[in-house]
Amino acid sequence: MRSKTQTWLRMLFWHTVPIVDLVAACRVFVQVGERGSFTLGAEAVRVPQSVASRRVAALEEHFGERLFDRSTRRAALTAFGRDMLPSAKRLVQLAEALEYHAEQAKLRPFGLAVPETCSVRHLAMLDAAARDEDTVLDFRTAGPAERTELLRSREVRAALVAVPPEGADWTVPLGVASPTDSGRGPLHLETLRPGRAQRAFRRIWIQPEDDVPHIRDRLEQTGHRVALVPAQVAVAASLTAAVAATMHTDDFLLCSAAQAHDLGLYWRRLAGTPVARGYHVSAVAGDDAERVQAGLWTQVARALGAPTDAKERA
């Protein structure tokens, strides 16, 4: 035997009154019925009394029965109204529970795998911007290969994946940085070529974030063309190790201008064929990718150190 609430839920799908209107009308019906006054009931649901009256009238028309006896000064329930009040309360409670769970679902952390090169400050700004869009980000900092694996295993909902600049959503130009101001113009790699009798040479350290084919191989090939010693382009075990080697010697760190600034280093462009990081947002669900790519594009660009306007990209 069906309960009254089940019968009401069935009516929601088979009758013409929209579910939102029916719930709003039931809210008024419950408050007026419990208080015995349209004035007090309207105040409880924060609508004008005229609106409350129209909603109850629409509900009565929907059911084809009177809920209140209009012959008295008080809003007295009819026999039909008394029968329907408990079911209306349950429906309102179910609607409120649904709204609550919807709000909680929107606040469920959105796992996003990001490069280890992103600064805390810019990640915090990205998180704040996402909260304005009712999204709580849960950052997982990781290297290029690990970010792809985190997404594959669905430990995160989206990841900023390293890709060649040609197919990227965000592009980060790379140059070289050092502890001393060694010049303002672009660095020509051939100027690092060691002399015949020169044993020591200056290296360019590649940090783990840039240990990907479209960056590492391109830089190694350029170094080979200008006759650098193979060891002059080296991959560091960690960003810390790369920065330490740069500070301890006269070597260079391959990085973005924003990263050099954060590390307190002097940055120069590389002359010739440009080298750049590329990032594409990949997600388990397409709408998650769209949320990051479109809704948070500028904040993500800043976190990556990518140009955010035409002047910076030039």
Q: What would the pLDDT profile of 56-90 be if each residue is shown by its tens digit? A: 999 999 899 999 998 777 889 999 999 999 999 99
pLDDT band at 310 (very low <50, low <70, confident <90, very high): very low
Question: What is the total residue count of the chain?
Answer: 314
H or E stretch at 141: strand 137-142
Structural tokens at position 164: 């060649």
Q: Nearest to residue 119, comparing CAs of 305, 293, 254, 256?
A: 305
Give 280-283's long-range contacts (Cβ < 8 A, gap of 24+). 280/160, 280/161, 280/163, 280/167, 280/168, 280/169, 281/158, 281/159, 281/160, 281/161, 281/169, 282/148, 282/151, 282/158, 282/159, 282/161, 283/151, 283/157, 283/158, 283/159
What's the whole-number mean pLDDT along residues 119-125? 94
The model's pTM is 0.66
